[in-house]
Amino acid sequence: MNRWASVALITLSSLVLAAPRWTESKSDPGKARISIYEVAPGRHLDFLRWMAARDEMAKAAGVPATQLYAHLDGDRWDYLVIWPLTTPEQDRKMDEWASARGFKTGFPAALEFRELLSSHTDTYVSGPTTAAALVAAAGK
């Protein structure tokens, strides 16, 4: 495994353990998407404005807030985001909110967002949990 992948895996593991629960169940860990972004040169403020608009959109649809971590030192990524997984109903509400305010939705929004990035990765995760809970789940 290369150095970047190792650092990303360690970072993701640490942040997943610190992430909030997005489900009510105490016995079943929540699920989330973790994204690591390397922003295109000169586009950091545009990226942050895009993310802030999406945070407003999510709040209006009743979606829990994302967690955004800004890079300070180490590898080359700029931002790490922990996103709650959304339902189709929440997605519809967010699209309605965005359209009503002149924001792009669907594929045009995805293209707009990718113009802000040099690279990114997305990983779907379950957690936070503990090693003991995973050992117990393995025994079922």
Question: What is residue 44's DSSP assignment?
Answer: H
- The Cα 81–Cα 51 span in angstroms is 10
With H, G, I as helix, E, B as strand and everything else as coil, classify residue 128.
coil
Cα–Cα distances in angstroms (integers) from residue 31 to residues 20, 53, 70, 109, in the given order: 10, 23, 22, 24
Task: Give me the CATH code for the 3-138 domain, please.
Answer: 3.30.70.100
In this prediction, residues 100-113 reach a mean pLDDT of 94
- Which phi and psi (to 5°) does residue 86 adopt? -110, 160
What pLDDT is attached to residue 29? 73
Q: If we measure between CA atoms, which residue out of 66, 76, 69, 72 comes closest to residue 7?
A: 76
Half-sphere exposure of 48 (CA within 13 A, CB side): 8
pTM here is: 0.74
Show Cβ contacts of residue 105 under 8 Å, excluding neighbours closer than 6 positions.
95, 98, 99
118, pLDDT greater than 70: yes
- The Cα 84–Cα 70 span in angstroms is 18
In this prediction, residues 111-123 reach a mean pLDDT of 96
Mean pLDDT, the chain, as a whole number? 85
- In this predicted model, what pLDDT tens digit does every residue of 35-63 receive, in sequence order? 999 999 999 999 999 999 999 999 999 99
What pLDDT is attached to residue 4? 54
- The Cα 108–Cα 128 span in angstroms is 33
Helix (H) or strand (E) holding 73: none
What pLDDT is attached to residue 103? 93
